[in-house]
Amino acid sequence: MIKNLRQKLADYQPRRFTTDRPQASVLVALTDEADPTVILTQRSSRLSTHQGEVVFPGGKHDLTDADLVTTALREAHEEVAIHPNEVEIIGSLGQLMSKHQLQVTPWVGIVRPDIDLKANPGELDAVFRVPLSFFMEDRRLRTDEIHFRGKTTYVPAWQYDGFIIWGLTAYLMVELLNVGLDAGIPMKPRPEHLQQ
């Protein structure tokens, strides 16, 4: 799977916005093994936004960050203790607009299967891994209807070990699976991409 992902993402031209909205980045970290897992986090229930949601490690771009890749790697280090030197970035997925109008750039990276993860208790309630094969089977819990700027799109939601993977995180998972592994999961473009 990882070999296919490397090849497909090397040729992929992800969507980019032309707006000047505030920037953020996330790391879609995959373990380098026969059945790769994706590393996900559950945000703390004590945070002011997105409490308890399942997300990729990431956050807002800092002026001290050299670029958006640096942002994703810095945030992953702060949140789950993945050192930037332990990640091989193999490509990017399309930018998305968060509900708080952050322009989010996802970076796909490969890490060792035995990487040691530690959830930052100030930001996260949990860090966990989900096999890509689980998503490939598309055993979704439900399909969510998402309204944004007068448009509607439908996004799968999965449940794994009690965690609900939905919204922006689920959309990114579908793009990763469709682009990198030819999963063929039906997905219309997000509303913000229709207004480009």
Average pLDDT estimate for 33-61: 86
Residue 55 resides in a domain: yes
Which tens digit of pLDDT belongs to each residue from 129-181? Answer: 999 999 999 889 999 887 776 777 888 999 999 999 998 999 999 999 999 99
188 found inside a domain: no
Domain extent for 155: 2-182
E-strand stretches of the chain: 23-31, 37-43, 54-55, 58-60, 88-92, 96-97, 103-111, 124-131, 142-148, 151-160, 163-165
Band (pLDDT 50/70/90 cuts) for residue 187 is: confident
Q: Is residue 187 part of a domain?
A: no
Q: In one letter, which amino acid is 112?
A: R
pLDDT tens digits for range 119-129? 999 889 999 99
pLDDT at 37 over 70: yes
- 190 band by pLDDT with thresholds 50, 70 and 90: low
- Our CA dihedral for 93, 55, 2, 78, rounded to 10 degrees, sits at 100
Rounded to whole angstroms, what are the CA distances from 133 to 139, 167, 184, 193? 10, 20, 14, 28
